[in-house]
Amino acid sequence: MTDISEFRKLGRDQFEKAGLPSRKLEDWHYTDLSQSGLTQLPLAEEMRGAAQAGVIHLVNGFLQGQPELPAGVVLEGLEAAAGRMGTLLSGADRAVTALNAGLFNDALVLRVSAKVEKPVEILSETRGDVQFHGRLLIVVEAGASLTLSEIHRGSGSALANWVAEIFVAEGGELHHVKLQDEALETTHIAALGLELGKGAKYKGALLHLGSKLARQEVYALMAGEGADFSLDGGTLAVGTQHIDNTTRVIHRAPGCPSHQLFKTVLDEQAHGVFQGTLFVERPGQKTAAYQMSRALMLSDRAAMDNKPELEIYADDVKCGHGATIGDIDETALFYLKSRGIDDSTARRLLIEAFLGEVAATVENQALREGLEERLYDKLGALFGRKAA
Amino acid sequence: MSVPMLEIRGLRAEIDGKEILKGVDLVIPTGEVHAIMGPNGSGKSTLSYVLTGRDGYEVTGGEAYYKGKDLLAMSIEERACEGVFLAFQYPVEIPGVTGVNFLKTAVNAVRRHHGRPELDAMQFMKLARTKAKELGVPEDMLKRAVNTGFSGGEKKRYDALQAALLDPSLMILDETDSGLDVDALRIVAEGVDRMRGPERSMLVITHYQRILDYIVPDRVHVLVGGRIVESGDQTLARELEKTGYAQFQGKAA
């Protein structure tokens, strides 16, 4: 892709042909957007304001002011990204990604050229009953490292459609925390494409608390020998929230470990989805891949769909996967209550612990505590509502 | 005569429709330590769970009074707040819940129940450190997840620490010797024995006599086939060690 206007036109054409995905597509079997009317929403108008200290502030995908960035991180123009954009996540087989390519406003393009200690924090705010298409492209150069935090929140019956492409070159490292904390009217669709070079490392923690409907796709390509991918996901969904995590980890190079643990807590009539594919190509010998989805059901009206898949073409690999769906552990509950803790508090402690393990994987203390605080707030609100 | 700590009359209970306790009678006066000994499957653990209110154990007959109050009418947490404490045969691992969070929540639940002000984080840590030191519980166990990755001995000491913090009136020890080697057993049992007092009673449930060398009981009862078939003083425990339970099997029928 060389010309941005061509890129956009291709995206629009691709989307026009495909339309919003329906459950007829295997990948979208549990999350149907075809009747959502989301593309009828007006496109967000350009909004510009002053920068906020300490964060990269985006409103409906528009960058606010000139953010301050730590040494070793630069914000680049769209031209700099032209050669890479769309190479990890193509609109050819992803209608929602094509829609994003056709309609995105600003693209946030970051280049990381050093070991950066201070986290880079993105605050994305959704405002109004609109659709917007945000785009992120990050290049972590060889030997460089970055801690990236994303918080998505706001208000409105909006469609927030994000596409993020992240390249980590040889020996580079990315620590990534994403908190999806949108309003309960918002639809949040996000695709993360990731390419890891030789010995590169990605460590992610993903927490879904908000949205009426959210879908996070993760496409991770282990392109260089010894690349290391690790992602812990947590979902707390209540009411009629629908949260979908769909991952595809591709082991193209040999000797790469990958780890995925997704934990889901569903109450009331919430619906959770986990679809995960581990794909080991022929050269991916000595792959050590692990994938697990664990769901805790607090209501018999909640529903969870688990679809773990393995596709392996190499003959010397270790792949483990599994999925569990269950109730709160009765023995643990009895133990807590036998110490005087009431039923509601005991349940809350156990759920906090279950999802808290996702936050606990975050190495940066401030980011970890921020994640825990929001999780505990939402749990507190849920149990407060139940007690009332 | 004053009201006993625990009074059980004709207690019957079943699990999944199978009757396990077939009419248990037992009175433990305040300040006394009683032991219940019995072979596997005699209903020892069932008795401890029925007294603490665990789900799945259905009481089909009889009564149990704790300090004169109807124990069986109380919820699990009410019994705990009122001062009934169960030391588990196998304390439960709860990954992700830190000891401090768990213990502070429990201590404050009991304080609230008695109308006493809750402890803040600082006050609680001071109390927890003091009690941990007395029991030889390393402080780092407070920060770790509840029982997670603890050895058998550590788990039992951690249970003892909980007892020390909650200050119960009736302690039920369910086969506390399970999973402990001789040294660990001695440390745990001596810790429990130090908690004896004129206002506290204990019910020590055990298969083997050895724990009773450290916690010498006032009375020993033999539970066979869901009934108490014999009661006596501590010499009964020694006798059982020699003769086994076979002599009582006939009595249970």
| A33-83 tens-digit pLDDT | 999 999 999 999 999 999 999 999 999 999 999 999 999 999 998 888 878
Are residues A258 and A251 in contact, defined by beta-carbon separation less than 8 angstroms?
yes
CB contact under 8 A, A354 and B106: no
Query: What's residue B253's pLDDT?
Result: 47
Domain coordinates of chain A in residue numbers? 2-327, 329-388
Q: Enumerate residue ranges in chain B where pLDDT < 70.
A: 1, 250-253
Residues on chain A touching B92 (C-beta within 8 angstroms): 331-332, 334-335
Q: Nearest-CA distance from B77 to chain A in Å?
A: 4
Q: Nearest-CA distance from A111 to chain B in Å?
A: 36
Q: Which residues contact A242 (CB under 8 A, 6 or more apart)?
A: A31, A212, A213, A214, A270, A271, A273
Q: Return d(Cα A219, Cα B110) in angstroms, integer.
A: 50
The secondary structure of residue B193, as a DSSP letter, is H
H or E element at residue B225 = none
Phi, psi of A330 (to 5 degrees): -65, -35
Q: Return d(Cα A375, Cα A219) in angstroms, integer.
A: 26
Q: Return d(Cα A182, Cα A154) in angstroms, integer.
A: 6
CB contact under 8 A, B105 and A345: yes
Which among B86, B94, B145 has the least Cβ separation from residue A338?
B86
Q: Does A357 touch chain B (CB under 8 A)?
A: yes
Residues on chain A touching B80 (C-beta within 8 angstroms): 337-341
Q: Read off the pLDDT band of A385 (50, 70, 90).
A: confident
CA A345: distance to chain centroid?
30
Average pLDDT over residues A264-292: 97
Are residues A343 and A337 in contact, defined by beta-carbon separation less than 8 angstroms?
yes
Q: Which residues contact A268 (CB under 8 A, 6 or more apart)?
A: A238, A239, A240, A298, A299, A301, A302
Structure token digits, residue A272: 């959770």
Q: How many other C-beta atoms lie within 10 A of the C-beta of residue A190?
A: 23
Q: Checking DSSP bridges between strand B6-15 and strand B18-28, what pairing results, if any?
A: antiparallel
The secondary structure of residue B115, as a DSSP letter, is T
CB contact under 8 A, B109 and A330: no
Q: Return d(Cα B208, Cα B108) in angstroms, integer.
A: 36
Res. A156: pLDDT tops 70? yes
Q: Nearest-CA distance from B93 to chain A in Å?
A: 7
Structure token digits, residue A63: 């960058």
Alpha helices in chain B (DSSP H): 44-52, 76-82, 99-113, 121-135, 140-143, 152-166, 182-193, 235-243, 246-252
CB contact under 8 A, B86 and A340: no
Q: Read off the pLDDT band of A2 (50, 70, 90).
A: low
Structure token digits, residue A62: 């528009």
Residues on chain A touching B171 (C-beta within 8 angstroms): none
Q: Return d(Cα A186, Cα A71) in angstroms, integer.
A: 35
Residue-wise pLDDT for B83-115, tens only, equals 999 999 999 999 989 999 999 999 999 999 999
CB contact under 8 A, B55 and A360: no
Q: Return d(Cα A56, Cα A121) in angstroms, integer.
A: 6
Query: Looking at per-residue confidence, does B93 or A388 come out higher?
Result: B93
State percent of chain A over pLDDT 90.
94
Residue-wise pLDDT for A46-59, tens only, equals 999 999 999 999 99
Are residues A105 and A44 in contact, defined by beta-carbon separation less than 8 angstroms?
yes
CB contact under 8 A, B80 and A335: no
Distances (CA, A) of B49 to B54, B79, B160, B173, B221: 5, 12, 18, 11, 18
Distances (CA, A) of B102 to B98, B163, B230: 6, 13, 40
Query: What's residue B251's pLDDT?
Result: 61
CB burial readout A100-117, b (16+ within 10 A) else e: bbbbbbebbbbbbbeebe
> What is the separation, in whole angstroms, between the first and last Cα of chain A?
56
Q: Which residue has the tokens 């995206």?
A: A11
Q: Return d(Cα A69, Cα A63) in angstroms, integer.
A: 14
Q: Return d(Cα A191, Cα A19) in angstroms, integer.
A: 17
Interface residue of A265, A329, A338 to substitute, partner B, most B CBs within 10 Å: A338
Q: Which of A100, A306, A295, A86 is nearest to A188 (CA)?
A: A100
Among A residues 334-353, those touching chain B with beta carbons less than 8 Å apart: 334-343, 345-346, 349-350, 352-353
Residues on chain A touching B77 (C-beta within 8 angstroms): 337-338, 340-343, 346
Q: Nearest-CA distance from B171 to chain A in Å?
A: 12
Residues on chain A touching B143 (C-beta within 8 angstroms): none
Q: Nearest-CA distance from A355 to chain B in Å?
A: 9
Structure token digits, residue A61: 């995908």
Average pLDDT over residues A136-150: 98
Query: What's residue A217's pLDDT?
Result: 98
State percent of chain A over pLDDT 70.
99
Q: Nearest-CA distance from B55 to chain A in Å?
A: 8
